Amino acid sequence: MAGFEYVLNQDARILFVDDDPILREFAQVNLSSPTMSVDLASNGGEAMDLLEAGDYDAMLLDLEMPVLNGFDTLDHVRHHARCEHLAVIVQTGREDVAAIDKAFRLGATSFVTKPLNWRLLSYQIRFIIRASRAESDLRYAAQKKRA
């Protein structure tokens, strides 16, 4: 059997947004690595403050939260020039068609249901960050070509 290996081994910063303090602690433990930084927010309002103050590679967003729920947070993110292209993974206990459709309509990048499988989620985050960076590089190249 091979030794433990970090899945999230690239330099990146993610924001985990959930009103459950135990889940936030699990996220910190399971998603952090020597190269992966995980910041935490307990609601959408806190998340927007952190997004305004820093640069993130991805955000994991719960839907059911006080102050500013996940749907409203996602809508704000997609209409904010600073983070409109941020990769957003909705992570929630909801798995109804209405929630899934609404999340993607508002601009979710991916959707996972609780309980979270932290190892599988780590691979999904790694893929999404790589894809997001490739998309950003393409946007930059297209802008340079037009200039």
In-domain check, residue 6: no
Q: What is the mean pLDDT of the chain?
A: 93
pTM over 0.85: yes
Domain count, the chain: 1
Pairing state of beta strands 12-17 and 36-41? parallel
Burial of 51 (0-12, 13-18, 19+ CB in 10 A): buried
Query: 121 exposed, middle or buried (CB, 10 Å; 0-12, 13-18, 19+)?
Result: buried
* Position 78 in a domain: yes
**Tokens at 126, concatenated:** 């790694």
The series of mean pLDDT values per 10 residues for the chain, 147 residues long, is 71 97 97 94 97 96 96 97 94 96 98 96 95 91 85
CATH number for 73? 3.40.50.2300
Burial annotation 11-45 (CB, 10 A radius, 16+ → b, else e): ebebbbbbbeeebbebbeebbebeebbbbbbbbbb
Of 143, 135, 125, 140, which Cα lies nearest the Cα of 13? 125
Domain of residue 60 covers 12-146
2 lies in some domain: no
Rounded CA separation 109/5 (Å): 26
Selection from 98, 55, 54, 104 nearest residue 78 by Cα: 104
pLDDT in tens, 38-53: 999 999 999 999 999 9
Structural domain contains residue 7: no
Give the contacts of 22 (CB within 8 A, at least 6 positions apart): none
Query: pLDDT at position 2, please?
Result: 64
Q: Give the model's pLDDT for residue 7.
A: 78
